Amino acid sequence: MMLAAPVIAVAATLIAGAILFTLLGHDGLGATLEIFVKPLFDPYRWQDLLVKAAPLAMIATGLAMGFRANVWNIGAEGQYILGGLAGTGVALSTLDMTGSWILPLMLICGVVGGMVWAAVPALLRTTLGVNEILSSLMLNYVAIQLLFYLMRGPWKDPEGFNFPQTAMFSADQTLPMVVPGTLIHLGVPLAAAVALTAFFVMARTVTGFQLKVVGLAPRAAAFGGFGAASTVWIAMLCGGGLAGLAGILEAAGPFGQMVPQFPTGYGYTAIIVAFLGRLNPLGILLAALVLALTYVGGESAQTTIGLPSAATGVFQAMMLFFLLAADILVRYRIVSGRAAAASAPHAAAAKEAEPAKGKAVTA
């Protein structure tokens, strides 16, 4: 049940993609094979997939916890940037020092940076009732400009030929590889650990129950003593903290410095990942790998069959379209029996549709 919609979506994407690209004059079948199948048979590509999937999975895990509670944080991109910046601030002020305490401090500051950025929409929502979708989206652009300002101004590498980027991080500030001789850095197992922890939190703890019940039935949650405000705070801080952690892990890992090109849309892609993974941490791990596959496979397809890079985006969008469409099949089977009872002529009826999805996941 849990896998039905994603499997249908991926299959439909493969078929529709093959047809679409054949119509556009490309080798449609070849394109789908190159993107979705060939990389899976190459052990080296698996390293790329894991490294690319790690930040997506981590951000999506945090977002999904909020989405389950109907808290729509779409500011992960900004929180990711702020996490990276906060950790970079530590790195730049400890460039001349050594010690094994530096990297953990960077990671902690990364988490805090993301949380601080997420606290703004949380505060606005809980005190003034500001829609968090809009406020968190706006903060993404503010974060990008803050990054640009720091890169071109105060944090510019004095020995970097005046190019807008920081100095390279030192060895003590860079993530170690967990499997020596490969590309698998510390962020990869951390992402897996985070997802597993989140799975446990959602399934077994009171906090997880609170997030789910607020999403499913806000009024029931209020009767049960779960405050709406505390739910918003938990959801936003989880999302922001994990996005911030993903940010500093990318900066201290694959980047090894901070550059203006740091944000590459992970915060937005992670929203797709969260939905593709059915808002379930384990599903998200799988979904992150599928999304990573579209990137990695898309690059292969460019070199082997000359498929334009724009094709990657089209595949990703189609996959999400099909997933959201396929959802209805699954959802109706779960909900139809209860719908009549649950739907009072009230907004709660409308909200019912969302949580039903969450229900399908844990079912």
Interface residues for another protein in 2-61 (CB under 8 A)?
24, 43-48, 50-52
Which phi and psi (to 5°) does residue 181 adopt?
85, 5
- 101 versus 328: smaller Cβ distance to another protein: 328
Task: Give the shortest CB-206-to-another protein separation in angstroms.
Answer: 26
When asked if residue 300 is in the footprint of another protein (CB under 8 A), the reply is yes
Min dist CB 284 to another protein, Å, is: 10
Considering only the stretches 99-107, 210-218, 223-231, 289-297, report the one whose residues sit in contact with another protein under the rule CB under 8 A.
Answer: 289-297
CB 24 within 8 A of CB 241: no
Residue 102's Cα: distance from chain center in Å? 26
257 binds another protein (CB under 8 A): yes
Q: Which span sits near another protein by CB under 8 A: 96-104, 203-211, 222-230, 248-256?
A: 248-256
Q: Is the Cβ of residue 42 or residue 100 nearer to another protein in the bound state?
A: 42
Nearer to another protein, 4 or 318 (CB): 318
Task: Return the bridge partners of 185, or none.
Answer: 177
129 binds another protein (CB under 8 A): yes
Q: What's the min distance (Å) between Cβ of 311 and another protein?
A: 7
Q: How far is the CB of 362 from another protein (least distance, A)?
A: 17
Residue by residue, what is the 3-state secondary structure of the chain? CCCHHHHHHHHHHHHHHHHHHHHCCCCHHHHHHHHHHHHHHCHHHHHHHHHHHHHHHHHHHHHHHHHHCCCCCCCHHHHHHHHHHHHHHHHHHCCCCCCCCHHHHHHHHHHHHHHHHHHHHHHHHHHHCCCHHHHHHHHHHHHHHHHHHHHHCCCCCCCCCCCCCCCCCCHHHCCCECCCCCCCECHHHHHHHHHHHHHHHHHHCHHHHHHHHHHHCHHHHHHCCCCHHHHHHHHHHHHHHHHHHHHHHHHHHHHCCCCCCCCCCHHHHHHHHHHHCCCCHHHHHHHHHHHHHHHHHHHHHHHHHCCCCHHHHHHHHHHHHHHHHHHHHHHHHHHHHHHHHHCCCCHHHHHCHHHHHHHHHHC
| Binding residues among 175-204 for another protein as defined by CB under 8 A | 179, 181-184, 192, 195
262 binds another protein (CB under 8 A): yes
Choice from 285, 291, 360, 361 touching another protein (CB under 8 A): 285
Among 12, 318, 334, 359, binds another protein (CB under 8 A): 318
- Residues in contact with another protein, total (CB under 8 A)? 99
User: Closer CB to another protein, residue 105 or residue 184?
Assistant: 184
Binding-site string for another protein from residue 205 to residue 244, where x marks contact by CB under 8 A and - marks none: ----------------------------------------
CA-based Rg of the chain, rounded to a whole angstrom?
A: 21
From 131, 197, 336, 362, residue interacting with another protein (rule: CB under 8 A) = 131
Q: Among residues 233 and 262, whose Cβ is nearest to another protein?
A: 262
Q: Which token pair is 209?
A: 């129950």
Interface pick for another protein out of 206, 225, 303, 341 (rule CB under 8 A) = 303
Whose CA is closest to 305, among 35, 41, 12? 35
User: Which lies closer to another protein via its Cβ, residue 21 or residue 233?
Assistant: 21
Q: Binding another protein by CB under 8 A: which of 29, 33, 152, 170?
A: 152
Q: Going residue by residue from 75 to 94, which x/- string records binding to another protein, judged by CB under 8 A?
A: --------------------
